[in-house]
Amino acid sequence: MDKIAQSANQARSSRGSVFEVNIENLLKEMLKSKKITNFTRSPIIFNKEFNPDFIVEKLDGNIVCIDSTTTARSDRLRGKQWDANGTKLYFNEVKNKKITAVVVVQDTETSDRERANFRRCKVRTTLPHSALDKIVSVDELVNLLEQ
């Protein structure tokens, strides 16, 4: 891989890591202010077969599986579908808990193309075979967790 491509990949990886830390800080604040019951970063689901970024327990006891991404691309969301499917199986069958699976997309500095991808990905979650329940912005995530 050439140095330019390597540098671009490192920048994207760094941006994704920062976004994930921002979500974690948001969840810490929500926990501190008693808006959620608990959360786990990088939970172990079926011996690490499935790797969502966060599992959140809401005040009503329901679970929200959160994956994050800095871009709403269909190829990226295919892996998120896998994690959502396995995580739902785990919480439905093993823990007997109701679970919602979402992907939170970074909503700052987005281009028109990225907003169009975001809208298309949101529509795909309404298909009957989708394990993802919603694609959300950070603000929509907060609203979902506080419901």
Please report the pLDDT score of residue 12 as a whole number: 54
Full pLDDT tens readout for the chain, 147 residues:
565 545 444 545 566 688 899 999 999 999 999 999 999 999 989 988 999 999 999 999 999 999 998 877 777 788 899 999 999 999 999 999 999 999 998 865 567 777 777 787 778 888 888 899 998 989 999 999 998
pLDDT at 10: 54
CA distance 57 to 2: 43
Q: What is the pLDDT of residue 34?
A: 97
What pLDDT score does 29 carry?
97
Query: What are the chain's domains?
Result: 3-146 (3.40.91)
pTM value is 0.85
Tell me if 57 sits within 8 A of 27, measured CB to CB.
Answer: no
Q: Classify residue 65 as left (phi > 0), alpha (psi -120 to 50) or beta.
A: beta
Give the E-state strand segments of the chain in sequence order: 36-41, 54-58, 63-69, 99-105, 134-136
Q: What's the DSSP call for residue 47?
A: T
What are the residues facing 55 on neighbouring strands? Answer: 40, 65
| Count of beta carbons in the 10 Å neighbourhood of residue 62 | 15
pLDDT at 5: 47
HSE-CB for 27 with a 13 A CA cutoff? 22
Counting every residue written for the chain, the total comes to 147
Helix (H) or strand (E) holding 81: helix 74-89
The span from the CA of 102 to the CA of 63, in Å, is 11
